[in-house]
Amino acid sequence: MALLLKITIAVVVLLYPIAIYFGLHYLEPKHLALTLAALVIVRALFTNSDLLKAVKGLWIIIFIAGLSLAGFSYFDNSQLGLKLYPVVISLSFLTIFSYSLVKPPSVIERLARLQEPDLPPEGVTYTRNVTMVWCGFFIINIGISLYTVFYASTAIWTLYNGLISYILMGVLFASELLYRKLVLKKG
């Protein structure tokens, strides 16, 4: 049951921009804000991540920021808070990845050690560099997401935050995996 709930939460978070896009055709932003508030509360109650626990207080910040955005959209009946939620999610990932560079092991090193517990020193250096690349990605993603919030239509915001950003994440992930498998294994 817990796994099904986690999968459901993940799917809802992934589909959030699309739900907002279609929801705005039928509902006022304040009604969607109640949905965002519920999503934030459910995520806080049922998401259990060691990476997020490692950054003390991060869940509290995400919780407060999410509820603040929902509250703003509810009381102002505005789309702004609803559209800023993906930015908060990217900021949280940037925070986690950046923090892991200051307080090692890095996020990517932790993931690598799941497959290779005795990671050699050059592996630690490599995973640290990959973590930095992801930090750069999140910075760029936040910038583009903010641009779509303030200067693009809701359709463009949905296209970027609900599809293009996921494709870019997948391309970065696959590129690193391919590089590791083909280039590093040969060296």
Domain spans of the chain, in order of start: 2-186
CA atoms of 148 and 161, how far apart (whole Å): 8
Which region among 26-35, 127-136, 152-161, 178-187 has the lowest average model confidence (pLDDT)?
178-187
Can you give the pTM of this predicted structure? 0.89
Query: Do 170 and 30 touch, CB atoms closer than 8 A?
Result: no
Query: Do 99 and 56 touch, CB atoms closer than 8 A?
Result: no
- Where residue 59 falls among pLDDT bands split at 50, 70, 90? confident
Q: Return the pLDDT at 17.
A: 96
Which of 9-18, 26-35, 44-53 is predicted most confidently?
A: 26-35
